[in-house]
């Protein structure tokens, strides 16, 4: 299953839950929601037990646990049940480190400022040479990388650090001085 298929299934579940909550029959709605909650509770306990067993299984178990925690599809489930083995800030930091070389190849950089209350603050610098699209591309890359490892993040605040002006003036911006302007400059001198 790829990320798109996973997203489609979660959207389908969300639509079905909305339909159930709209049931006019109180007993049917209550029973359906209780069934759903019971299934979630059972899955949560089983997932927590899997994490516990892997954690206690030496290096091989911890290695498997790390692989599971880094898988984008499984990561979301571990977060859903509140049992992801890697702390939120560490996951975000790793994601940024992973994309740092890619950003540098495109003249950009990113610094993690803060992770708090399911929100991330980063500082992005682009040497996009005045091209807004490259700054947008860097921002998109950073956001995607963070959300892939930390789907519980509800907001990503991006502080843009504009590069200092290089002093370069494109030739098409240089205009010849008109006779009127030359006369004016001579009269004021």
Q: Which domains does the chain have, with CATH numbers?
A: 3-80 (no CATH), 88-162 (3.30.300.130)
Q: What is the pTM of this model?
A: 0.67
Q: What local confidence, expressed as pLDDT, does residue 126 receive?
A: 81
Helices (H), the chain: 3-21, 26-55, 58-70, 72-80, 88-105, 132-149, 179-188
The model's pLDDT over 75-126, given as tens digits with 9 standing for 90+, comes to 888 988 989 988 999 999 999 999 999 998 888 889 999 999 889 999 998 8
Is residue 17 a contact partner of residue 29, using CB atoms and an 8 Å limit? no
Least confident of 6-10, 35-39, 118-122, 178-182: 178-182
């Amino acid at each position: 299953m790829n990320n798109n298929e996973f997203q489609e299934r979660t959207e389908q579940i969300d639509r079905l839950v909305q339909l159930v909550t709209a049931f006019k029959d109180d007993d049917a709605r209550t029973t359906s929601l209780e069934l759903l909650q019971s299934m979630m509770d059972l899955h949560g306990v089983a997932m927590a037990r899997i994490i516990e067993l892997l954690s206690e299984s030496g290096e091989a178990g911890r290695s498997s646990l790390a692989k599971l925690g880094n898988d984008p599809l499984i990561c979301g489930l571990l977060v859903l049940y509140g049992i992801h083995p890697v702390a939120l800030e560490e996951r975000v930091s790793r994601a940024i480190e992973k994309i740092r070389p890619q950003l540098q190849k495109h003249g950009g950089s990113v610094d993690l400022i803060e992770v708090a209350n399911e929100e991330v603050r980063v500082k992005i610098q682009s040497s996009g040479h005045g091209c807004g699209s490259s700054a947008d591309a860097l921002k998109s890359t950073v956001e995607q990388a963070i959300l892939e490892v930390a789907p519980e993040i509800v907001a990503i605040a991006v502080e843009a650090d504009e590069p200092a002006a290089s002093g370069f003036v494109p030739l098409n911006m240089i205009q010849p001085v008109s006779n009127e302007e030359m006369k004016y400059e001579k009269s004021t001198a």
